[in-house]
Amino acid sequence: MSQGTVNAGNPQADTGQPGTSQPAAGRERRGTVIRLGGLAAVLVIAAIFPLVVTNALYTQFAVNTMIFVGAVAAWNLFSGYTGYLSLGTAVFFGSGAYTVGLLTKQWKLPGGDIFLLLPLGGLVAALIAVPLGLIALRVRRHTFVVITIAFFFIFQLMAFNLSLTGGNQGLSSPFFLWSASDYNNPFYYVGLIIAVGTIILSWLIRNSRFGLQLLAIRDDEDRARGLGVRAMRVKLIAFAISGGIVGMIGGLWWFFIGQALPETAFNPLFDLSVALMAFLGGFGTLAGPVLGALILEPLQQWIGITFTNGYTSDIVLGVLFLLVILFLPRGIVPTGAEYVTKWRAAQARRREPAPGGSAPPGSPAITRAAAPGTSKPSASTPSSSTPSTGTPSTGGVR
């Protein structure tokens, strides 16, 4: 019996009547509702966290976590979407911190007005990213990594030796006359706004024409160029956007920590931490890097307090990086999605009828039951007993 005869006996396959598409659509709707509900729950928990948890140590953990969530989301916006692994993100982090510090000393803004300087720190970092990108993005991925590391050390040495940056003494931030009980809360909410805004921006870019160009570059840059993608311009724009956001976060960090030193503002462990968070959660995905930051940064904070040896956290960071690369190269989110897909496929196979068994009308198993060119009767038209001659049928009409 031909495939056409089978479909003719099952009008649900072509007419849009209730059939196998309805359960699939229902599952898709349920999945969307679950995702949106989970996202709303996470946002509500994040919004009320400092109001419920008043312990200063835990809110300090939360501020640092928000800083890294925003930083890794911004890093992923460029490195995850293009495949160009940057280990010089601390250049923009430190540049934003020092920019905001110098402007604060110059303008002497009071109280919460200091947060108005964060966009300026981001702007300076983005402007720095343009010439650096024009140099580094002319090469391909492996060489790009080396160049970003070189940029990092150049900027760190400049911070050590320039009088503008305070040299070894660095720059100290003003002390804010806020309530001691909720001193961390303004930093937390500003960090939360930057982090959520960066995630939303990443989603918008990923679902735009610009984002498709970035992903095309990641998959095959030569082919993307052949299809008309202006790769250099696209990469440079993403590089500048990422650097600008990280610069804003660096300015927030300077206000929160209270002092920017060359070895802390331009810290190689910052680059390693951001990259590890992205790989742990899922490099190039939207939710993966955020999940990695939510797992790893509180862990680092806890290790730093639990163990008096200052190098313990660094050792754990390095070991985790190796373990993730070796045993979880795709990250938590892609690996979890793969397991869910396999589980659903296994469940679907269990629901299929055994050979010779019955199945409900409209089941895809019925369509597969009768192969073209066989002499078996159609499963969906039991009244038909005319054997097939192997000639394609015209919709089951003789």
Report the CATH number that the domain containing residue 158 is assigned in CATH: 1.10.3470
Residue type, 396: G
Question: For residue 163, what are its two tokens?
Answer: 């009088």
Residue 10 falls within a domain, yes or no?
Answer: no
Contact (Cβ atoms closer than 8 angstroms) between residue 93 and residue 71: yes
Does the pLDDT at position 268 exceed 60?
Answer: yes
Contact (Cβ atoms closer than 8 angstroms) between residue 69 and residue 195: yes
Alpha helices in the chain, H assignment, sequence order: 3-9, 12-15, 21-52, 56-75, 81-82, 90-107, 118-136, 141-161, 185-206, 209-219, 221-226, 231-257, 262-265, 268-281, 288-306, 312-327, 332-351, 364-369
Residue 364 falls within a domain, yes or no?
Answer: no
Residue 309 falls within a domain, yes or no?
Answer: yes
Question: For residue 344, what are its two tokens?
Answer: 């659903």
Does the pLDDT at position 147 exceed 80?
Answer: yes
Residue 11 falls within a domain, yes or no?
Answer: no
Burial class of residue 78 in the structure, from the number of CB atoms within 10 Å of its CB (0-12 exposed, 13-18 middle, 19+ buried): buried
Phi/psi of residue 172, nearest 5 degrees: -100, 140
C-alpha distances out from residue 89 to 124, 176, 177, Å: 14, 28, 32
Least confident of 8-12, 60-64, 103-107, 311-315: 8-12
Q: If pLDDT is split at 50, 70 and 90, which confidence band does 69 have?
A: very high
pLDDT tens per residue across span 150-198: 999 999 999 999 988 888 888 887 767 677 778 899 999 999 999 999 9
Overall number of domains in the chain: 1
Q: Tell me the residue range of the domain where 253 lies.
A: 56-340
Residue 45 falls within a domain, yes or no?
Answer: no
Residue 35 falls within a domain, yes or no?
Answer: no
pLDDT tens per residue across span 208-238: 999 999 999 999 999 999 999 999 999 999 9
Model pTM greater than 0.75?
A: yes
Does the pLDDT at position 137 exceed 60?
Answer: yes
Average pLDDT over all residues of the chain: 82
Residue 351 falls within a domain, yes or no?
Answer: no
CA atoms within 13 A on the CB side of 196: 13
Give percent above pLDDT 90 in the chain: 51
Supply the pLDDT for residue 134: 96
Supply the pLDDT for residue 120: 94
The better pLDDT of the pair 315, 17 is held by: 315
Dihedral sign computed on CA atoms, order 357, 363, 369, 370: positive
Question: For residue 355, what are its two tokens?
Answer: 């050979």
CA atoms within 13 A on the CB side of 321: 14
39: Cβ contacts below 8 Å, ≥ 6 apart: none
356: Cβ contacts below 8 Å, ≥ 6 apart: none
Supply the pLDDT for residue 29: 75
Residue 212 falls within a domain, yes or no?
Answer: yes
**DSSP letters spanning 40-64:** HHHHHHHHHHHHH---HHHHHHHHH
Least confident of 265-269, 280-284, 302-306: 302-306
The better pLDDT of the pair 5, 74 is held by: 74
Provide the b/e sequence for 44-65 (b: ≥16 CB within 10 Å). Answer: eebeebbeeeeeeeebbbbbbb
**Which range, 62-71, 254-263, 293-302, 349-358, has the best average confidence (pLDDT)?**
62-71
Q: Beta strand 171-172 with 259-260: parallel, antiparallel or unpaired?
A: antiparallel
Cα–Cα distance for residue pair 114/107, rounded to 1 Å: 10
